[in-house]
Amino acid sequence: MDIVYIRDLEIRTIIGIYDWEREQKQLVSLSLEMGCDIKACAQTDSIENALNYKAVAKRLIEFVELSEFFLVETLAERISEIVLHEFGVAWLKLKVGKPGAVTGSKDVGVIIERSV
């Protein structure tokens, strides 16, 4: 299986359990590895046969900006459902991070793997 990836896609959203987190958008960072077969697009050199990572990024930006989840775990699950079902991806490894959420750490979050 081939992998198409997006690294460190930064999006501002409402996320968190504390009152202040419900009032102001925070930065989340997404990194995705998406399993697919790139043979057809490589042979035709056509975006129509490819997993369009720009389309994936635009869809996720739109979704995440409008979301208001309490947990990064919930956000990760919903993102995985979008990628797997809307883009025909067979397998996904997704990292959702909240940079600066814990004093002294660069990033905290979850990494999940899902498949259809």
Report residue 91's pLDDT band, with 50, 70 and 90 as the boundaries. Answer: very high
The residue-averaged pLDDT of 28-38 equals 97
Of 54, 58, 98, 106, catalytic: 98
Cβ atoms within 10 A of the Cβ of 36, count? 19
**Distance between CA atoms of 48 and 42, rounded to whole angstroms?**
11
Helix-helix angle 72-86:53-66, to 10 degrees: 140
For residue 114, pLDDT beyond 90: yes
C-alpha atoms less than 13 angstroms from C-alpha of 75 in its C-beta half-sphere: 29
Q: Which CATH number applies to 2-115?
A: 3.30.1130.10
Q: Which two tokens stand for residue 106?
A: 């660069």
**Distance between CA atoms of 114 and 99, rounded to whole angstroms?**
23
Is residue 98 part of the annotated active site? The answer reads: yes
Each domain of the chain, given as residue ranges in start order, spans 2-115
